[in-house]
Amino acid sequence: MLRFVLKRTGDGLLTLAALVTLTFFALRLAPGGPFSRNRKISPEVQANIEAAFHLDEPVIQQFGRYLWGLAHLDLGPSTRFRDYSVSDLIASGLPYSLTIGFWAVVVATFVGIGFGLIGALRRNSATDYAVGVIAVTGIAVPIFVIGPLAQVVFALNLNWVPVAGTDGGWRSLVLPILVLSLPNIAYISRLTRSAMIETMRENYVRTARAKGIGPTRTIVHHALTGAMLPVIAYLGPATAAIITGSILIETIFAVPGIGRFFVDAALNRDYPLVMGITLLYGGLLIAFNIATDLLRGWMDPRVRHG
Amino acid sequence: MKKIVTNILRGLTLAAVLGTTALADDVLDRGIGSEWSSLDPQVVFDAAAGWIILDGYEGLVTFDPTGKVIPGAAERWEASADGKTYTFHLRDGLKWSNGDPLVAQQFVDGVLRTLNPATASEKGYYFYSVIRVKGAEALAKGETTDPATLGFTAPDDRTVVVEMLTPAPHILAIMGSFQVAPLHPSVTDASVFTDPSKFVGNGAYMISEIVPQSHVLMTANPNYWDAAKVAIQTVKYHVTEDVATELKRYQAGEIDITYDVPLNQIEPLKAEIPAELMIFPSTEVTYYSFNLTKEPFQNIDLRRALSLAIDRVVLEEKIMKGGAIPSFSYAGGFDPDYLGPKIAEAGMTQAEREALAQELYAKAGYGPDNPLKVSVVSTVNEDSTRRAQGIALMWKKVLGVEAVNEAQERKAWLDTFYAGTWDVFADNLTGDFAGAETFLAYMRPSAEPGYNWVKPEYDAAMDLAAEKTDSTSRNAALALAEKILLDDYIFAPLAIQPSRHLVKPNVKGFAASAASYHNSQFISFE
């Protein structure tokens, strides 16, 4: 087990190193720079500004400087948000993205699994189809349609929650969490449904039934555990994606999370900020993948003993 | 790093990250579009963030709701006879928000910090280009670090003297806090601008809360000299990046003054709440530049034909519908006292202009068998592509030109301009103040703005204008220069862009202002 964790962590670090290198050089290929402006300023002053951010150095030297900073846990200064370092901005945005993401994952997991179970147990019934329609809608209708629609219905018409921003305390979070969880509810319910249908046909479930265990225990203790494996495989990377911020959700609902920093940074060629968020996202993705593998190993004897 | 970890832990509980600020009616909620680039008054360079600076700091002068210059920290000033020296007299007993006395040297320190290359500010050009303060350019370029060489001085605690190389009657327009905020000694590095507890300003408001990508909260400064007249005690500047969301927040009562209005909602809003919709000219001009280094565009007949074939009224009123003002000039329309020229054909009907355009197009050697093929480089912004497509259509209809729109992401668009690979460039310029000179000075060939326009006569005309000390004769001289510029058709002027806001009916004191200075201290609730 320890060897497994060490090996996966080692692989993860290698992947991260490749990610940092690729992103660093790919960013420099994009036209323009952090201080290119509509209005041309004198070359000397432009040079002074670029020198202040070491942008005058050869790219390879800048890369060295960046790695040296990373080794000291310094992600560098932001060029778009001049008052802040990259660490400051991540520290400021991540709690919002994490809060919304965390609750969206919780909602999506419970509702998704519930829907999936209903679908599987009442297969081909009206309930199954109803749940299926909801799920397909969640996948098919994009966030930039559902988001504004939800704002009109729940904020403007019903006046239950604020339109956007964070002024309303927890009520401000309701819409972003719900809208963010919708597509995931859809995926999880579909995954649960098909996995459950398959698992119910497995020999060990038939054995459990034959032993005379009641239907509830059979489903919860035997079938559901098995059916959860694909859901967990999906949840790992999905959680990483959700909690690192949804750009659309954050823009539509004016949530100050890191997703918006990422877009702003990329459009404004804020190299250190793009690097910092890429690194964070990559790191989380790798960590969640490792965690998923461990969890599956623990839940599935075939993985454990295989 | 440690901060990240603690914040992550805090983040998992809902209440910790979100304050429980209720929606209070006595708070003025203003949208500012995208997030401020900085709250450092010597660094910040975006207009919307400028509102926060104008509330937090007061310059030597300030601006009334219509943008007119009024006394700020200086109660009066006078110019020397040659117009090159301005002396500002500060009010008695000025204080910083923390109670420290405010002295004239701190205005000088602010300018020195802006010019210091270590500050990496882009705003130094106000002092060596917009006006030409003695010694400013050498300091900005790092040729000297000696503060005594600067012609911006404080002979005593209540006097600021500005010595310039050439007269500049527009100096007052850049003596507000966006350009000349005073510098408190506690500002040693940029980190003070992220921590509201370290905020020290001299404006009507103090920054009391900063959440990146969310808002800046400001509260009235009891130490402001005119604090008794400040009606609204709390102002909240919200980042309102998504213009559709901003409109809904306005409708829900979460925002009192919006940053912008969605273009496709202007017509319905005009019908529903005309009194709340404010559209007025800003200091941004839109124009299409022709690449003078490319063979076809070296022909003035062709440039003129392309300019005349555009129906500016149809473009703005039927296609764009954003409230922009169709324009036949480049620098006119901002300063009511500037009576500048328009392109020669401005007095014709559009039909006459189109007939002339066809004639010139043929004269340049183009026709149905030999159509001109051009690409228009614009940004990917929806407005820009729509304008480009509209113009391409007009060129096609009137002249048979085959134009394509090449939409590029903003930074790429800028790069393309300086690389000179474009045919027609969808250009725009925002002036530093509501006057003609800021636009005309930018076009000077000697300033190398990137248009490759060779015209010593224009530089000479601008030099002549720069000698004039009073604004009337200066404007007259500038008009002569603009005539030279327009007569060469190096670009097709299109429109003056507007500012668009929704303002709640109970908000008073928010008025049309081309310079877009809207200090909260002059706003009140009815």
Provide DSSP, B311-377. -HHHIIIIII-S-PEE-S-SS-SSSTT------GGGGS-HHHHHHHHHHHHHHTT-BTTB--EEEEE
Residue A103 maps to a domain:
yes
DSSP secondary structure string, B254-306? Answer: S-SB-S---GGGHHHHHHH-GGGEEEEEEEEEEEEEE-TTSGGGG-HHHHHHH
Pick from A245, A252, A201: which is nearest to A222 by CA? A201
Amino acid at B524: S
Instruction: Tell me which of A76 and B161 has the higher pLDDT.
Output: B161
Residue A220 maps to a domain:
yes
- Is A5 strand, coil or helix? helix
Query: What mean pLDDT value characterizes chain B?
Result: 91
Residue A68 maps to a domain:
no
DSSP H or E stretch at residue B69: strand B69-71
Residues from chain A contacting residue B37 (CB–CB below 8 Å): 80-82
| DSSP symbol at A97 | H
CB atoms under 10 Å from CB of B374, counted, come to 21
pLDDT band at A304 (very low <50, low <70, confident <90, very high): low
For residue B414, is pLDDT > 80? yes
Indicate left, alpha or beta for B125 from its phi (over 0: left) and psi (-120 to 50: alpha).
alpha
Minimum mean pLDDT range among A125-139, A270-284, B56-70: A125-139
Pick from B192, B194, B173: which is nearest to B184 by CA? B192
Phi, psi of B74 (to 5 degrees): -90, 130
pLDDT for residue B3: 55
Q: State how far the Cα of B505 lies from the Cα of B524, in Å rounded to an integer.
A: 11
CB-closest option in B15, B141, B409 to A44: B141
Q: What is the largest CA-CA distance in chain A?
A: 85
Strands B85-90 and B491-502 come out as: unpaired
Residue A152 maps to a domain:
yes
Q: What is the pTM of this model?
A: 0.89
Q: Between chains, do B37 and A82 touch, taking CB under 8 Å as contact?
A: yes
pLDDT for residue A224: 79
CATH of the domain at A218: 1.10.3720.10
| % of residues, chain B, pLDDT over 90 | 80
For residue B474, is pLDDT > 60? yes
Residues from chain A contacting residue B40 (CB–CB below 8 Å): 82-83
Residues from chain B contacting residue A148 (CB–CB below 8 Å): 244-245, 248
Amino acid at B191: S
Residue A20 maps to a domain:
no
pLDDT band at A56 (very low <50, low <70, confident <90, very high): confident
For residue B290, is pLDDT > 90? yes
| DSSP symbol at B515 | T
CB-closest option in B8, B140, B410 to A95: B8
Q: Between chains, do B254 and A167 touch, taking CB under 8 Å as contact?
A: yes
User: Residue range B341-352: average pLDDT?
Assistant: 94
Residues from chain B contacting residue A42 (CB–CB below 8 Å): 125, 129, 140-141
Residue A33 maps to a domain:
no
Q: Between chains, do B410 and A267 touch, taking CB under 8 Å as contact?
A: yes
Q: State how far the Cα of B306 lies from the Cα of B292, in Å rounded to an integer.
A: 14
- Is B206 strand, coil or helix? strand
Tally of residues, chain B: 526
> B125 to chain A: nearest residue by CA?
A41
Residue A105 maps to a domain:
yes
> A280 to chain B: nearest residue by CA?
B4
pLDDT for residue A24: 92
The separation between the first and the last C-alpha atoms of chain A, rounded to the nearest angstrom, is 13
| Residue-number span of the structural domain to which A221 is assigned | 90-267
Q: Between chains, do A92 and B211 touch, taking CB under 8 Å as contact?
A: yes
Q: State how far the Cα of A266 lies from the Cα of A274, in Å rounded to an integer.
A: 6
CB B363 within 8 A of CB B375: no
As for the ipTM of the complex, it is 0.85
Q: Could you give the number of structural domains in chain A? A: 1
For residue B23, is pLDDT > 50? no
Residues from chain B contacting residue A261 (CB–CB below 8 Å): 212-213
Residues from chain B contacting residue A252 (CB–CB below 8 Å): 242, 245
Q: Between chains, do B412 and A32 touch, taking CB under 8 Å as contact?
A: yes
Q: State how far the Cα of A132 lies from the Cα of A235, in Å rounded to an integer.
A: 20
> A78 to chain B: nearest residue by CA?
B37
pLDDT band at B190 (very low <50, low <70, confident <90, very high): confident
Residue A35 maps to a domain:
no
- Is A197 strand, coil or helix? helix
The side-by-side arrangement of strands in the sheet containing B277-290 is B325-326, B491-502, B277-290, B424-430, B373-379, B402-408
CA distance B467 to chain A (A): 23
For residue A285, is pLDDT > 90? no
CB A63 within 8 A of CB A70: no
CB-closest option in B37, B242, B442 to A80: B37
Pick from B332, B333, B515: which is nearest to B433 by CA? B515
DSSP-H helix ranges across B19-83? 47-56
What pLDDT, in 10s, does the model give residues A153-165?
Answer: 999 889 899 998 8
User: Residue range A185-201: average pLDDT?
Assistant: 87
pLDDT for residue B222: 97
